Chain A
Amino acid sequence: MDNTNGNKERQHSVDADALRAKGNKAERTLLQKVLCNMPLIFCVAVWALLAFYERDLLLRLDMQSLFLFDNLFFESSMSVPAGLLGYVGCFLTQFFYYPALGAAIFVALLALVYLLTRKAFNIPARWAFVAMVPMFLLLAADVQLGYWIYYIKYPGYWYVATLGTIVGLLAIWGFNKASYKFHAVIILAWSVIGYPLFGFFALFSSICMAVIALSQALRNGNRMRVIFDGVTLLLIALVLAYEVPLFCYNFVYDSTAIDFMHLAGLPAYHWDVRATHFLKSIYPYWIPFVLLFLFQLVLSVYYNRLSPKETAAKRINLFKWLLMPAMVVFVFFYWFKNTNFRIENRQDTAMWEGNWRKVADLARGTGEPSRQIVLNRNIALLHLGKAGEEMFTYPEGSADIDAPIAVHLTHTGGVMSYWCYGKFNFAYRWCVENAVERGWKVEYLKHAVRSLLLNGEYKLVKRYTNILKHTLFYADWAERYERLADNPESIAKVPEFAFPMQMRVYPDILDVDESFVEAYLLNNLAGGYTTSHSLLHAEAALMSSLIRKDSKSLWTNFSRYLHKRKIMRLPTHYQEAALLFSSISRSVDISNLPIEEGVKLRFNAFMRKTKDYKGMKEEEMAPHFKKDFGDTYWYFYFFVRKIKTN
């Protein structure tokens, strides 16, 4: 069959589909109508899930990305193979600033993948559901990320595979439309021109083109056509897929190792195949990509071979009912649903908004919190002046981070913690360290601006506000901070800065945090490195002593706190701590402290209960105490153990 015949057959199948569709229209049940609109349902569902359920993830993705309207940014993006994908990916990621809009753009591109898959592989209407598979796989490739959003070094990752797939499908579609005389030229041109722009996706689509040509040639049985239009083209595509990256390595690019040239456009470098934990942990991240490419290869082989006939309807429907639920299950399995990760993101959004009540309340939404959640919660309670009353009423612990890599607070929310506690140099340091490894992101730039501003480094503030002024959505924010840098006297009037400025009461020393944010802050605060004792700082120091269960620093910090506190009533947790530590050491007289009778009675009840359970292990005792005393410092002191500060 030559190309003309192929087109006729396609036309025939499309006409037959149209007629059948017309004839059956009246008989369709509601269910059938819904099923006919499966892509629409998919798009609406994904949009809703992303825009609402994953709102804070999208906001964080935007903050963990950067797109600048600037030549240097473009040139820098294009200095690696597949650079255009990263560039456009970053451009589109910025729209997550408005989650509903960003989700709509993403879903629109998935819909385009569906339409182009149908077009590129000539999938008849009856088999259209098959074209949804790439949508599922691309979605899975993104929603699987979780904590990788802080570590993946591929700019615009969220969109790269989708964009790469779209351009690949467009190329295949164009190839199929062209006369076979131009097939070799198209494969050659697309591999050579497409690789620098789209990397692996261009090379892979060239291979798909060749497979389609081979499949078609085999089908029509013309031996010469099999050899030329099939085998030769496949050989050309394979040779080009091997040689073009090597040529580019030697003559075009100077920043990508040869081992990663062929996989440019895929996050190959970041999921380094030589990493020792590859088989255990990293491999599953590849599966959506591998399935995506395998699927496209299968579609290439079956180009023009999917039956549009009525007789196959039952089997097609059965296949549909097996495939679609399987894909839904697949995406559900791949969707990163970790509660703590979601809470951390929501807390981060709330912290930028200054909604401290929300930050604290969110910490109640988990069984065992991560240390980031605890850190954020404590900062919020300090802001609210509720630390002494509420701190130990929340879930406690140090839940393991659900990630195959070591996740440090320095890379996630630690910079925010440092800023809140007035550690501006350390906050800025980690902005820079993170930017060094993963490139500047909006989040690092914003933190850098705030830290430097409060550190009095106005010249440097302007450097970073100038960069933010080249973004689409942060220019106003940058201008506001630039005005503050121009008028430093107005900084003290900004409410947002009051808390960190009160915490910045310590002398300059040479110090290092060894990448452990919470441990550093606790030791530093409890250790009393301060030049003046604001009430806020004194309370933070006392809190740190309580968390560290450190009797040595506790009484020093207690007296500082009492000295600064003008209101007579001592918050409940501090009363609890005073009772506990005085009963342990017995050398401290707390008779002058305003301990309430109710607290004393409860403490006595606690101590009596400990005698009742004498001989039991702590972990056996804990559930018995949780109900009555789970909201006390005593419970935290005795039963919340093995906290791994990060």
Chain B
Amino acid sequence: MIKVLKNSVYILLLAVVVAACGAPSVPSSFDKTAKSVTIYPDYKDVTVPCNIAPLVYAIQEQGDEFVTRFSAQGTSVVVGGKDVVPQIEEWRTLLQSANGANINVETFVRKGKRWSACKTFEIAVSPDSIDTYISYRLIPPSYVAYEQLTINQRNLTNFDEQVIYNNMLAATESEGSCINCHAYKNYRTDNMQFHIRQGNGGTLFIHNGEPVKLNMATDSTLSPGVYPAFNPVYDVVAYSVNKTGQIFHTVKTNKVEVQDVASDVIVYNPVANTVANVANGPNDLEVFPWWSPDGRTLYYGSAHFEVIDTANTVMKEEIIRHQEIKYDILRRSWNPDTFEFGEVDTVFAATKLGKSATFPRISPDGRFLLFALGEYGCFHVWHHDADLYLQELATGEYWPLGEANSEYAESYHSWSSNARWILFSSRRDDTNYTRLYIAHVDAGGKASKAFVLPQQSPDYYPLFDRSYNVPEFMVEPVRFTPQEFAEIIKGEAKKVQYSPTGK
């Protein structure tokens, strides 16, 4: 009986404390100011999908108390505190109310006894939904060394994040392994792959739900497969094969140059377990293949580089002349019946502009080519001048994605399955750590202001010591566990054969 009484007192006390704290409310009187509120991350005047996770941010203003009111079409959510953390259910209700319209965000700041209201900003809610999942690799902004790397998947409608694979699961101190280049067929995970380099090296390849570890090295190709592109229709995967080196700037803040001494494009036929060369010109560096949505055209970046003996090795010559290596975007038709490729066609001649275009990605509706354009080289993630560009394939007209770009590197990008959202990495936050940004692209190819992938805490990015790279959309999660992958990775790899025809 005494225990019951004691518990009742505790509950009562708790209720009093909760009541005393109270729910946040908008002040009854305040001064209106023209001052725009400073927030981090910057979600002001962005366009978000109708199914995105709550936008959590911190108000970076001086004040004693803060209240934020989100309102849309008669629904309003009030959040107290300097860290603005809307509850997920309230946020969803808000998104539903504002679908196709705007959420108005009012910020009230109390200094002493006086409340003031900052200038209202808006968040546009697009009726275009975004794919539920994305995946990315988390890696320190590394140069050469690596230790723990993970490939993660994240649910964009909430904050759930899971590890797809962690390289430490099959690593020892004396034999570590690097993991990279996860890719999926048609945004689904029953056909996917990622590579493991060095210890337990190979390619973890899932074909129609069956995982296998491949050894893609052959005597007739430059290297095992590197940058992959699943054909969205047919059972082939294009890869670039690369001999890559890294070299470091002594002064420039770009820090690193990643260069290919040689690179070609190959295709892998998972049914026959064979590879074939596609583009391997002796003085050409071909890289970053990508298929058209109908699966009948292969796009890739290509640079023409002739050695003129300014140094004793090609690598050294490339180092000296690194600013001369510029890539165009080419394409070749492909016949799925004969496995034959057509003539080379230049899609975007960046070299004529004195620039370098890499990483072609065709929108799933087939209308646009999205690529990164910088001054030179192919690894634009280290080039602050690199920006995203869009080209309308039907007209050849191209333009920078002005609202989505920043003064720092924008690179690795991918399209959502409905061709309305792009996801890309950017170094704009602190110049060194890549973060994922999302931007809406309308039917006319105009991009909205990009917003950073929402996290549960505004402190997350400033303290998180990993870069996000290789962001890819998915419509379903990977279903294998990291431990299941580890067992396969520790096993023997199946050898891939070379076939000149690719069949």
A binding-site residues for B, Cβ under 8 Å: 68, 70-73, 153, 249-250, 254-259, 269-272, 274-276, 423, 425-426, 428-429, 432-438, 440, 455-457, 459-460, 462-463, 466-467, 470, 506-512
Contact = CB atoms under 8 A, between A and B. Distances in A.
Contacts of A70: 459, 463
Interface string B362-377: 0000000000000000
B30 interface: no
Majority SS at the chain B contact face: loop
B248 A257 contact: no
25 contacts: A68-B463, A72-B460, A72-B463, A73-B463, A250-B481, A254-B166, A254-B483, A255-B166, A257-B169, A258-B169, A269-B173, A274-B172, A274-B174, A425-B252, A425-B255, A426-B248, A456-B253, A457-B432, A460-B430, A463-B433, A508-B249, A509-B250, A510-B247, A510-B250, A510-B257
Contact of A460 (B148, B248, B249, B431): B431
B112 to A, nearest CB: 26
B159 to A, nearest CB: 13
A254 B249 contact: no
Contacts, number: 130
Interface string B34-67: 0000000000000000000000000000000000
Contacts of A506: 250-251
B142 interface: yes
Contacts of A258: 169, 483, 486
B410 to A, nearest CB: 16
A456 B150 CA distance: 32
Contacts of B464: 72
A507 B430 contact: no
Given A510-B250, A512-B247, 14 more contacts: A254-B150, A255-B150, A255-B163, A255-B166, A257-B168, A425-B251, A425-B252, A426-B250, A429-B255, A432-B143, A436-B147, A440-B465, A462-B430, A511-B250
B457 interface: yes
B173 A507 contact: no
B144 interface: yes
B173 A508 contact: no
B144 to A, nearest CB: 6
Nearest to A268: B173
A463 B250 contact: no
B141 interface: yes
Contacts of B483: 249-250, 254, 258
Given A250-B483, A274-B174, A460-B432, A510 B248 contact: yes
Contact of B482 (A254, A259, A428, A437): A254
B172 A272 contact: yes
Contact of A275 (B174, B257, B431): B174
A270 B481 CA distance: 26
Contacts of B465: 435, 440
B224 interface: no
Contacts of A432: 140-143
A462 B462 CA distance: 9
Interface centre among A259, A432, A456 (most CB of B within 10 A): A432
Contacts of A256: 168-169
B399 to A, nearest CB: 28
Contacts of B163: 254-255
Contacts of A462: 430
Contacts of B171: 257
Nearest to B319: A510
B142 A436 contact: yes
A507 B251 CA distance: 7
B59 to A, nearest CB: 17
B146 interface: yes
